[in-house]
Protein backbone atom coordinates (compact mmCIF):
# COMPACT_ATOMS: atom_id res chain seq x y z
CA UNK A 1 0.00 0.00 0.00
CA UNK A 2 1.69 3.16 -1.21
CA UNK A 3 -0.67 5.61 0.56
CA UNK A 4 -2.64 5.19 3.78
CA UNK A 5 -6.17 6.51 3.42
CA UNK A 6 -7.06 8.83 6.31
CA UNK A 7 -9.83 11.38 6.70
CA UNK A 8 -8.57 14.77 7.72
CA UNK A 9 -10.49 17.36 9.73
CA UNK A 10 -9.86 20.66 7.94
CA UNK A 11 -12.72 22.79 9.25
CA UNK A 12 -11.36 26.27 10.12
CA UNK A 13 -7.81 25.21 9.39
CA UNK A 14 -5.66 27.12 6.95
CA UNK A 15 -4.61 25.40 3.74
CA UNK A 16 -2.22 27.03 1.30
CA UNK A 17 -2.98 26.76 -2.40
CA UNK A 18 -0.14 27.84 -4.66
CA UNK A 19 -1.44 28.50 -8.15
CA UNK A 20 -4.35 30.52 -9.49
CA UNK A 21 -5.62 28.52 -12.44
CA UNK A 22 -8.20 25.86 -13.20
CA UNK A 23 -6.45 22.95 -11.55
CA UNK A 24 -5.96 24.98 -8.37
CA UNK A 25 -9.64 25.91 -8.51
CA UNK A 26 -10.79 22.30 -8.89
CA UNK A 27 -8.76 21.14 -5.91
CA UNK A 28 -9.73 24.17 -3.85
CA UNK A 29 -13.39 23.37 -4.31
CA UNK A 30 -12.80 20.06 -2.60
CA UNK A 31 -10.91 21.67 0.26
CA UNK A 32 -13.64 24.27 0.69
CA UNK A 33 -16.26 21.52 0.91
CA UNK A 34 -14.37 20.17 3.91
CA UNK A 35 -14.51 23.62 5.51
CA UNK A 36 -10.85 24.58 5.03
CA UNK A 37 -9.80 28.23 5.05
CA UNK A 38 -8.10 28.76 1.71
CA UNK A 39 -5.06 30.99 1.35
CA UNK A 40 -4.33 31.29 -2.36
CA UNK A 41 -0.94 32.52 -3.55
CA UNK A 42 -0.20 33.30 -7.23
CA UNK A 43 0.61 36.33 -9.35
CA UNK A 44 -2.67 35.77 -11.20
CA UNK A 45 -5.79 34.24 -9.71
CA UNK A 46 -9.02 33.29 -11.46
CA UNK A 47 -11.99 35.32 -10.17
CA UNK A 48 -13.86 32.12 -9.24
CA UNK A 49 -10.94 30.98 -7.15
CA UNK A 50 -10.71 34.34 -5.42
CA UNK A 51 -14.40 34.20 -4.63
CA UNK A 52 -14.02 30.70 -3.22
CA UNK A 53 -11.05 31.70 -1.03
CA UNK A 54 -12.80 34.74 0.38
CA UNK A 55 -16.00 32.77 0.93
CA UNK A 56 -14.05 30.19 2.92
CA UNK A 57 -12.81 32.87 5.30
CA UNK A 58 -9.37 32.89 3.71
CA UNK A 59 -7.57 35.35 1.47
CA UNK A 60 -5.70 35.76 -1.81
CA UNK A 61 -2.13 36.95 -2.15
CA UNK A 62 -1.24 38.15 -5.65
CA UNK A 63 2.49 37.56 -5.41
CA UNK A 64 4.98 34.88 -6.29
CA UNK A 65 5.31 32.20 -3.60
CA UNK A 66 7.63 32.85 -0.64
CA UNK A 67 8.49 30.40 2.10
CA UNK A 68 6.85 32.54 4.78
CA UNK A 69 3.49 31.94 3.10
CA UNK A 70 3.72 28.55 4.74
CA UNK A 71 3.35 29.98 8.24
CA UNK A 72 0.35 28.47 10.07
CA UNK A 73 -0.65 26.20 7.17
CA UNK A 74 -1.61 22.58 7.81
CA UNK A 75 -1.50 21.44 4.18
CA UNK A 76 -0.11 22.74 0.92
CA UNK A 77 -1.52 22.23 -2.54
CA UNK A 78 0.56 23.20 -5.52
CA UNK A 79 -0.75 23.63 -9.04
CA UNK A 80 1.27 26.30 -10.82
CA UNK A 81 1.98 24.33 -13.96
CA UNK A 82 5.58 25.62 -13.83
CA UNK A 83 7.93 22.85 -12.89
CA UNK A 84 10.56 25.02 -11.20
CA UNK A 85 7.95 26.72 -9.02
CA UNK A 86 6.27 23.42 -8.17
CA UNK A 87 9.62 22.05 -7.10
CA UNK A 88 10.52 25.10 -5.02
CA UNK A 89 7.21 25.06 -3.13
CA UNK A 90 7.52 21.34 -2.62
CA UNK A 91 11.02 21.77 -1.19
CA UNK A 92 9.97 24.58 1.15
CA UNK A 93 6.97 22.62 2.44
CA UNK A 94 9.05 19.51 2.96
CA UNK A 95 11.62 21.55 4.91
CA UNK A 96 8.85 22.58 7.29
CA UNK A 97 7.32 19.10 7.39
CA UNK A 98 4.02 20.32 6.04
CA UNK A 99 2.31 17.66 3.90
CA UNK A 100 2.30 18.79 0.29
CA UNK A 101 0.53 17.76 -2.89
CA UNK A 102 1.80 18.78 -6.30
CA UNK A 103 -0.96 18.37 -8.87
CA UNK A 104 -0.31 15.61 -11.40
CA UNK A 105 3.14 14.77 -10.04
CA UNK A 106 2.61 11.72 -7.81
CA UNK A 107 6.31 11.60 -6.93
CA UNK A 108 6.01 15.01 -5.28
CA UNK A 109 2.94 14.17 -3.23
CA UNK A 110 2.92 13.44 0.51
CA UNK A 111 -0.80 12.99 0.18
CA UNK A 112 -3.18 12.61 -2.72
CA UNK A 113 -6.75 13.70 -3.17
CA UNK A 114 -8.87 10.66 -3.84
CA UNK A 115 -12.00 10.45 -5.87
CA UNK A 116 -14.79 11.02 -3.36
CA UNK A 117 -18.23 9.57 -2.96
CA UNK A 118 -19.96 11.95 -0.59
CA UNK A 119 -23.08 10.87 1.26
CA UNK A 120 -22.06 12.80 4.36
CA UNK A 121 -21.47 11.76 6.98
CA UNK A 122 -20.76 8.63 4.96
CA UNK A 123 -17.75 9.21 2.73
CA UNK A 124 -15.91 6.76 0.53
CA UNK A 125 -12.60 7.62 -1.06
CA UNK A 126 -11.07 5.92 -4.10
CA UNK A 127 -7.51 6.18 -5.18
CA UNK A 128 -5.18 4.47 -7.57
CA UNK A 129 -2.20 6.05 -5.84
CA UNK A 130 -1.97 8.60 -8.63
CA UNK A 131 -1.63 5.93 -11.29
CA UNK A 132 -4.96 6.30 -13.04
CA UNK A 133 -7.30 8.86 -11.47
CA UNK A 134 -9.82 8.31 -14.26
CA UNK A 135 -10.15 4.69 -13.20
CA UNK A 136 -10.79 5.73 -9.60
CA UNK A 137 -13.48 8.12 -10.81
CA UNK A 138 -15.09 5.37 -12.89
CA UNK A 139 -15.24 3.05 -9.90
CA UNK A 140 -16.70 5.78 -7.78
CA UNK A 141 -19.39 6.39 -10.36
CA UNK A 142 -20.25 2.70 -10.47
CA UNK A 143 -20.50 2.44 -6.69
CA UNK A 144 -22.51 5.61 -6.51
CA UNK A 145 -25.35 3.83 -8.26
CA UNK A 146 -25.27 1.05 -5.65
CA UNK A 147 -25.56 3.24 -2.58
CA UNK A 148 -29.08 4.17 -1.64
CA UNK A 149 -29.60 7.91 -1.33
CA UNK A 150 -30.67 7.49 2.30
CA UNK A 151 -27.38 5.91 3.35
CA UNK A 152 -26.02 9.24 4.59
CA UNK A 153 -29.11 9.69 6.71
CA UNK A 154 -28.58 6.21 8.14
CA UNK A 155 -24.99 7.03 9.09
CA UNK A 156 -26.19 10.17 10.87
CA UNK A 157 -28.98 8.31 12.67
CA UNK A 158 -26.65 5.62 13.95
CA UNK A 159 -24.03 8.18 14.93
CA UNK A 160 -26.53 9.97 17.17
CA UNK A 161 -27.40 6.71 18.93
CA UNK A 162 -23.87 5.46 19.40
CA UNK A 163 -23.55 6.51 23.02
CA UNK A 164 -26.87 4.96 23.95
CA UNK A 165 -26.00 1.67 22.29
CA UNK A 166 -22.62 1.55 23.98
CA UNK A 167 -24.30 2.03 27.33
CA UNK A 168 -26.92 -0.64 26.72
CA UNK A 169 -24.48 -3.19 25.28
CA UNK A 170 -21.20 -2.91 27.17
CA UNK A 171 -19.72 -6.10 25.70
CA UNK A 172 -17.69 -5.08 22.64
CA UNK A 173 -18.15 -8.30 20.63
CA UNK A 174 -21.85 -8.35 21.20
CA UNK A 175 -22.04 -4.68 20.36
CA UNK A 176 -20.39 -5.29 17.02
CA UNK A 177 -23.09 -7.85 16.29
CA UNK A 178 -25.79 -5.40 17.23
CA UNK A 179 -24.33 -2.82 14.88
CA UNK A 180 -24.21 -5.30 12.05
CA UNK A 181 -27.78 -6.31 12.57
CA UNK A 182 -28.78 -2.67 12.67
CA UNK A 183 -27.03 -1.91 9.43
CA UNK A 184 -28.43 -4.96 7.61
CA UNK A 185 -31.87 -5.10 9.15
CA UNK A 186 -35.25 -3.43 9.39
CA UNK A 187 -33.98 -0.49 11.46
CA UNK A 188 -31.83 0.62 8.55
CA UNK A 189 -34.70 0.17 6.11
CA UNK A 190 -36.90 2.41 8.24
CA UNK A 191 -34.32 5.15 8.51
CA UNK A 192 -33.62 5.14 4.81
CA UNK A 193 -37.32 5.31 4.16
CA UNK A 194 -37.41 8.44 6.31
CA UNK A 195 -39.21 6.99 9.34
CA UNK A 196 -36.81 7.64 12.21
CA UNK A 197 -39.51 7.36 14.82
CA UNK A 198 -40.44 3.88 13.69
CA UNK A 199 -36.76 3.00 13.48
CA UNK A 200 -36.29 4.00 17.12
CA UNK A 201 -39.11 1.72 18.22
CA UNK A 202 -37.52 -1.20 16.35
CA UNK A 203 -34.10 -0.33 17.75
CA UNK A 204 -35.42 -0.39 21.29
CA UNK A 205 -37.05 -3.77 20.68
CA UNK A 206 -33.80 -5.13 19.31
CA UNK A 207 -31.80 -3.92 22.31
CA UNK A 208 -34.26 -5.64 24.64
CA UNK A 209 -34.01 -9.04 23.00
CA UNK A 210 -30.27 -9.44 22.58
CA UNK A 211 -29.04 -12.93 22.45
CA UNK A 212 -25.79 -13.91 20.85
CA UNK A 213 -25.82 -17.27 19.13
CA UNK A 214 -23.01 -18.80 17.18
CA UNK A 215 -23.44 -20.28 13.73
CA UNK A 216 -21.32 -21.83 11.03
CA UNK A 217 -21.16 -20.90 7.36
CA UNK A 218 -19.78 -23.69 5.24
CA UNK A 219 -18.74 -21.77 2.17
CA UNK A 220 -17.29 -22.83 -1.16
CA UNK A 221 -14.49 -20.47 -2.10
CA UNK A 222 -14.23 -21.66 -5.70
CA UNK A 223 -11.06 -22.78 -7.44
CA UNK A 224 -9.02 -19.62 -6.86
CA UNK A 225 -10.10 -16.64 -8.97
CA UNK A 226 -11.94 -14.39 -6.48
CA UNK A 227 -14.32 -13.26 -9.25
CA UNK A 228 -15.86 -16.71 -9.08
CA UNK A 229 -17.16 -16.28 -5.53
CA UNK A 230 -20.92 -16.10 -5.08
CA UNK A 231 -22.51 -12.96 -3.67
CA UNK A 232 -23.58 -14.90 -0.64
CA UNK A 233 -20.11 -16.26 -0.05
CA UNK A 234 -18.76 -12.73 -0.12
CA UNK A 235 -21.44 -11.45 2.23
CA UNK A 236 -20.73 -14.16 4.80
CA UNK A 237 -16.98 -13.68 4.40
CA UNK A 238 -17.50 -10.06 5.37
CA UNK A 239 -19.52 -10.89 8.41
CA UNK A 240 -17.72 -13.75 10.16
CA UNK A 241 -15.77 -13.48 13.43
CA UNK A 242 -13.40 -16.32 12.65
CA UNK A 243 -12.39 -18.19 9.51
CA UNK A 244 -11.05 -21.73 9.17
CA UNK A 245 -9.37 -22.15 5.82
CA UNK A 246 -7.18 -24.68 4.12
CA UNK A 247 -4.49 -24.80 1.49
CA UNK A 248 -6.79 -24.67 -1.52
CA UNK A 249 -8.28 -21.31 -0.63
CA UNK A 250 -6.33 -18.75 -2.66
CA UNK A 251 -4.70 -15.68 -1.14
CA UNK A 252 -6.81 -13.46 -3.36
CA UNK A 253 -9.97 -14.98 -1.88
CA UNK A 254 -8.69 -14.81 1.70
CA UNK A 255 -7.99 -11.13 1.17
CA UNK A 256 -11.73 -10.59 0.92
CA UNK A 257 -12.46 -12.00 4.36
CA UNK A 258 -13.18 -9.35 6.94
CA UNK A 259 -9.89 -7.86 8.08
CA UNK A 260 -10.42 -8.29 11.78
CA UNK A 261 -11.71 -11.87 11.63
CA UNK A 262 -9.45 -14.36 13.37
CA UNK A 263 -7.76 -16.72 10.90
CA UNK A 264 -7.15 -20.38 11.59
CA UNK A 265 -5.24 -22.43 9.05
CA UNK A 266 -6.28 -26.08 9.22
CA UNK A 267 -4.25 -27.76 6.46
CA UNK A 268 -4.17 -29.90 4.41
CA UNK A 269 -1.42 -30.73 2.06
CA UNK A 270 -1.25 -34.23 0.67
CA UNK A 271 -0.26 -36.49 3.53
CA UNK A 272 0.20 -33.57 5.95
CA UNK A 273 -3.02 -33.05 7.83
CA UNK A 274 -2.26 -29.85 9.71
CA UNK A 275 -5.38 -30.34 11.82
CA UNK A 276 -7.02 -33.80 11.73
CA UNK A 277 -10.61 -33.84 10.48
CA UNK A 278 -12.21 -34.81 13.82
CA UNK A 279 -10.46 -31.83 15.43
CA UNK A 280 -11.76 -29.49 12.72
CA UNK A 281 -15.28 -30.83 13.31
CA UNK A 282 -14.94 -30.19 17.03
CA UNK A 283 -13.34 -26.77 16.59
CA UNK A 284 -16.32 -25.63 14.51
CA UNK A 285 -18.69 -26.70 17.30
CA UNK A 286 -16.58 -25.10 20.04
CA UNK A 287 -16.21 -21.76 18.28
CA UNK A 288 -19.92 -21.58 17.50
CA UNK A 289 -20.72 -22.38 21.14
CA UNK A 290 -18.64 -19.35 22.13
CA UNK A 291 -21.19 -17.32 20.17
CA UNK A 292 -18.96 -16.78 17.15
CA UNK A 293 -19.98 -16.66 13.53
CA UNK A 294 -17.65 -19.19 12.07
CA UNK A 295 -16.73 -19.24 8.41
CA UNK A 296 -15.54 -22.62 7.18
CA UNK A 297 -14.02 -21.69 3.86
CA UNK A 298 -13.25 -24.53 1.49
CA UNK A 299 -11.66 -24.64 -1.92
CA UNK A 300 -14.13 -25.28 -4.74
CA UNK A 301 -17.47 -26.63 -3.62
CA UNK A 302 -17.81 -27.86 -0.04
CA UNK A 303 -19.86 -30.90 -1.07
CA UNK A 304 -17.46 -32.12 -3.73
CA UNK A 305 -14.57 -34.03 -2.22
CA UNK A 306 -14.51 -31.44 0.52
CA UNK A 307 -15.67 -33.44 3.54
CA UNK A 308 -18.27 -30.73 4.04
CA UNK A 309 -20.87 -33.39 4.71
CA UNK A 310 -18.95 -34.72 7.71
CA UNK A 311 -18.53 -31.27 9.16
CA UNK A 312 -22.19 -30.38 9.06
CA UNK A 313 -23.23 -33.79 10.36
CA UNK A 314 -21.29 -32.88 13.45
CA UNK A 315 -22.88 -29.46 13.66
CA UNK A 316 -26.36 -30.88 13.23
CA UNK A 317 -25.72 -33.39 16.01
CA UNK A 318 -24.55 -30.58 18.28
CA UNK A 319 -27.58 -28.43 17.43
CA UNK A 320 -25.50 -25.61 15.93
CA UNK A 321 -27.21 -23.59 13.19
CA UNK A 322 -25.36 -23.64 9.88
CA UNK A 323 -25.74 -22.84 6.24
CA UNK A 324 -23.97 -24.19 3.18
CA UNK A 325 -22.97 -22.05 0.24
CA UNK A 326 -22.00 -23.83 -2.97
CA UNK A 327 -18.90 -22.86 -4.85
CA UNK A 328 -17.52 -23.36 -8.33
CA UNK A 329 -15.81 -26.73 -8.15
CA UNK A 330 -12.31 -27.21 -9.53
CA UNK A 331 -13.72 -29.32 -12.39
CA UNK A 332 -15.99 -26.51 -13.53
CA UNK A 333 -13.48 -23.75 -13.03
CA UNK A 334 -10.63 -25.57 -14.75
CA UNK A 335 -12.83 -26.72 -17.61
CA UNK A 336 -14.19 -23.25 -18.28
CA UNK A 337 -10.83 -21.51 -18.04
CA UNK A 338 -9.12 -24.17 -20.15
CA UNK A 339 -11.77 -24.09 -22.87
CA UNK A 340 -12.82 -27.71 -22.36
CA UNK A 341 -16.60 -28.22 -22.25
CA UNK A 342 -17.23 -31.18 -19.97
CA UNK A 343 -20.12 -32.36 -22.09
CA UNK A 344 -20.74 -31.75 -25.76
CA UNK A 345 -23.26 -33.18 -28.21
CA UNK A 346 -20.54 -34.60 -30.42
CA UNK A 347 -18.19 -35.84 -27.72
CA UNK A 348 -19.62 -36.68 -24.32
CA UNK A 349 -23.10 -37.07 -22.88
CA UNK A 350 -22.05 -37.51 -19.31
CA UNK A 351 -19.26 -36.46 -17.00
CA UNK A 352 -17.92 -38.20 -13.95
CA UNK A 353 -16.04 -36.51 -11.11
CA UNK A 354 -13.58 -38.91 -9.52
CA UNK A 355 -11.60 -38.44 -6.33
CA UNK A 356 -8.08 -39.67 -6.70
CA UNK A 357 -6.56 -40.89 -3.48
CA UNK A 358 -3.12 -42.31 -3.33
CA UNK A 359 -3.04 -45.32 -1.01
CA UNK A 360 0.31 -46.92 -0.47
CA UNK A 361 1.50 -45.43 -3.77
CA UNK A 362 -1.43 -46.66 -5.85
CA UNK A 363 -4.62 -44.96 -6.96
CA UNK A 364 -7.37 -47.11 -5.60
CA UNK A 365 -10.23 -47.10 -8.10
CA UNK A 366 -12.47 -49.50 -9.95
CA UNK A 367 -10.89 -48.83 -13.35
CA UNK A 368 -13.10 -51.15 -15.38
CA UNK A 369 -16.20 -49.04 -14.60
CA UNK A 370 -14.40 -45.84 -15.56
CA UNK A 371 -14.03 -46.65 -19.23
CA UNK A 372 -17.35 -45.70 -20.81
CA UNK A 373 -18.11 -44.42 -24.29
CA UNK A 374 -19.03 -40.73 -24.57
CA UNK A 375 -18.15 -39.93 -20.98
CA UNK A 376 -15.73 -37.31 -19.72
CA UNK A 377 -13.72 -38.16 -16.62
CA UNK A 378 -12.45 -35.52 -14.24
CA UNK A 379 -9.94 -36.71 -11.68
CA UNK A 380 -9.43 -34.46 -8.69
CA UNK A 381 -5.76 -35.21 -8.84
CA UNK A 382 -3.08 -34.46 -11.37
CA UNK A 383 0.66 -34.61 -11.36
CA UNK A 384 1.01 -37.37 -8.74
CA UNK A 385 -1.61 -39.78 -9.95
CA UNK A 386 -1.31 -39.11 -13.69
CA UNK A 387 1.03 -41.95 -14.72
CA UNK A 388 -1.25 -44.45 -13.02
CA UNK A 389 -4.44 -42.90 -14.34
CA UNK A 390 -3.14 -43.18 -17.91
CA UNK A 391 -1.76 -46.67 -17.53
CA UNK A 392 -4.77 -48.10 -15.72
CA UNK A 393 -7.34 -46.62 -18.09
CA UNK A 394 -5.52 -48.08 -21.08
CA UNK A 395 -5.24 -51.35 -19.16
CA UNK A 396 -9.02 -51.29 -18.68
CA UNK A 397 -9.60 -50.89 -22.41
CA UNK A 398 -9.43 -47.14 -23.13
CA UNK A 399 -8.00 -46.01 -26.47
CA UNK A 400 -4.37 -44.98 -25.86
CA UNK A 401 -4.99 -41.97 -28.11
CA UNK A 402 -7.77 -40.60 -25.87
CA UNK A 403 -6.96 -36.93 -25.22
CA UNK A 404 -5.97 -35.92 -21.68
CA UNK A 405 -5.50 -32.50 -20.14
CA UNK A 406 -3.74 -31.59 -16.95
CA UNK A 407 -4.74 -28.21 -15.56
CA UNK A 408 -2.37 -26.60 -13.10
CA UNK A 409 -3.70 -23.94 -10.70
CA UNK A 410 -6.90 -23.54 -12.69
CA UNK A 411 -8.46 -20.04 -12.85
CA UNK A 412 -5.40 -18.49 -11.19
CA UNK A 413 -2.79 -16.33 -12.91
CA UNK A 414 -0.41 -19.33 -12.82
CA UNK A 415 -2.88 -21.54 -14.70
CA UNK A 416 -1.22 -23.85 -17.20
CA UNK A 417 -2.74 -26.56 -19.34
CA UNK A 418 -0.84 -29.57 -20.64
CA UNK A 419 -2.61 -31.52 -23.36
CA UNK A 420 -1.62 -34.94 -24.62
CA UNK A 421 -2.97 -38.50 -24.92
CA UNK A 422 -3.24 -41.32 -22.41
CA UNK A 423 -0.25 -42.86 -24.14
CA UNK A 424 2.03 -39.81 -24.14
CA UNK A 425 0.98 -37.74 -21.13
CA UNK A 426 3.25 -39.45 -18.56
CA UNK A 427 6.34 -38.63 -20.64
CA UNK A 428 5.20 -35.03 -21.27
CA UNK A 429 4.54 -34.59 -17.56
CA UNK A 430 7.97 -35.92 -16.65
CA UNK A 431 9.57 -33.18 -18.80
CA UNK A 432 7.32 -30.40 -17.42
CA UNK A 433 7.65 -28.35 -14.29
CA UNK A 434 4.17 -28.60 -12.82
CA UNK A 435 3.25 -27.36 -9.37
CA UNK A 436 0.33 -26.34 -7.18
CA UNK A 437 -3.04 -28.10 -7.31
CA UNK A 438 -3.64 -29.95 -10.56
CA UNK A 439 -6.65 -31.64 -12.10
CA UNK A 440 -6.97 -34.21 -14.87
CA UNK A 441 -9.60 -34.25 -17.60
CA UNK A 442 -9.87 -37.33 -19.82
CA UNK A 443 -12.03 -37.63 -22.92
CA UNK A 444 -12.46 -36.43 -26.47
CA UNK A 445 -13.81 -33.05 -25.25
CA UNK A 446 -10.19 -32.21 -24.47
CA UNK A 447 -9.55 -31.94 -28.21
CA UNK A 448 -11.67 -28.76 -28.22
CA UNK A 449 -9.16 -26.98 -25.99
CA UNK A 450 -7.06 -25.44 -28.76
CA UNK A 451 -10.11 -23.91 -30.42
CA UNK A 452 -11.95 -22.78 -27.31
CA UNK A 453 -9.32 -21.69 -24.85
CA UNK A 454 -9.52 -18.00 -24.01
CA UNK A 455 -7.82 -17.58 -20.66
CA UNK A 456 -4.22 -16.59 -21.18
CA UNK A 457 -2.76 -15.66 -17.83
CA UNK A 458 0.34 -13.50 -18.00
CA UNK A 459 3.46 -15.64 -18.07
CA UNK A 460 5.56 -15.36 -14.97
CA UNK A 461 9.03 -13.87 -15.59
CA UNK A 462 10.64 -17.27 -15.12
CA UNK A 463 8.82 -18.54 -18.21
CA UNK A 464 9.32 -15.43 -20.31
**What is the set of active-site residues?**
246, 268
Please report whether residue 410 would count as binding ligand SAH according to CB under 6 A.
yes
Footprint (CB under 6 A) of ligand SAH, residues 7-66: none
* Binder of ligand SAH out of 236, 330, 404, 425 (CB under 6 A): 330
* Binder of ligand SAH out of 306, 326, 403, 443 (CB under 6 A): 306
Task: Burial-class residue 19 by CB neighbours within 10 Å (0-12, 13-18, 19+).
Answer: buried
Footprint (CB under 6 A) of ligand SAH, residues 88-107: none
Query: Minimum Å distance from CB 305 to ligand SAH?
Result: 4
Please report whether residue 380 would count as binding ligand SAH according to CB under 6 A.
yes
Q: List, in order, residues 6 or more apart from 5 with CB less than 8 Å away.
A: 114, 125, 127
Contact code string over 412-431 relative to ligand SAH, x by CB under 6 A: x-------------------
* Binder of ligand SAH out of 128, 329, 402, 421 (CB under 6 A): 329
* Binder of ligand SAH out of 19, 114, 226, 300 (CB under 6 A): 300
Instruction: Rank residues 114 and 224 by Cβ distance to ligand SAH and give the closer one.
Output: 224
Please report whether residue 244 would count as binding ligand SAH according to CB under 6 A.
no
* Binder of ligand SAH out of 233, 305, 377, 417 (CB under 6 A): 305
For ligand SAH, how many residues bind (rule: CB under 6 A)? 24
Which segment (46-54, 237-245, 278-286, 432-440) binds ligand SAH by CB under 6 A? 432-440
* Binder of ligand SAH out of 351, 439, 445, 446 (CB under 6 A): 439
* Binder of ligand SAH out of 299, 326, 403, 443 (CB under 6 A): 299
Query: Minimum Å distance from CB 462 to ligand SAH?
Result: 19
* Binder of ligand SAH out of 19, 214, 224, 326 (CB under 6 A): 224
Instruction: Rank residues 78 and 389 by Cβ distance to ligand SAH and give the closer one.
Output: 389
Query: Minimum Å distance from CB 330 to ligand SAH?
Result: 3
Please report whether residue 388 would count as binding ligand SAH according to CB under 6 A.
no
Count of CA atoms in the C-beta half-sphere (13 A) of 320: 28
Residues that bind ligand SAH in the complex, under the rule CB under 6 A: 223-224, 248, 298-301, 304-306, 329-330, 334, 380-382, 407, 409-412, 437-439
Amino acid sequence: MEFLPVFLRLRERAVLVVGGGKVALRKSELLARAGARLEVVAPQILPALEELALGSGGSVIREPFRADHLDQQVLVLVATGIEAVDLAVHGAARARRIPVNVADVPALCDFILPSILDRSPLIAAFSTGGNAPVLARRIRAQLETLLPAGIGRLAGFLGERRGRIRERVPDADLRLRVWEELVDGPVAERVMAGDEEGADVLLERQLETLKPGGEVFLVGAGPGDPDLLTFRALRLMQKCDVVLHDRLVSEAVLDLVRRDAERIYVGKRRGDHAVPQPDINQLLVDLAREGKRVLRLKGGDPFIFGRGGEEIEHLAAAGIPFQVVPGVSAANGCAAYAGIPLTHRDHAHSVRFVAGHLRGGTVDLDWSTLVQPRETLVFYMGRVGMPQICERLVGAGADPLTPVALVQQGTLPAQRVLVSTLQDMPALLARSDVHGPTLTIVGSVVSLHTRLSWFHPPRSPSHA
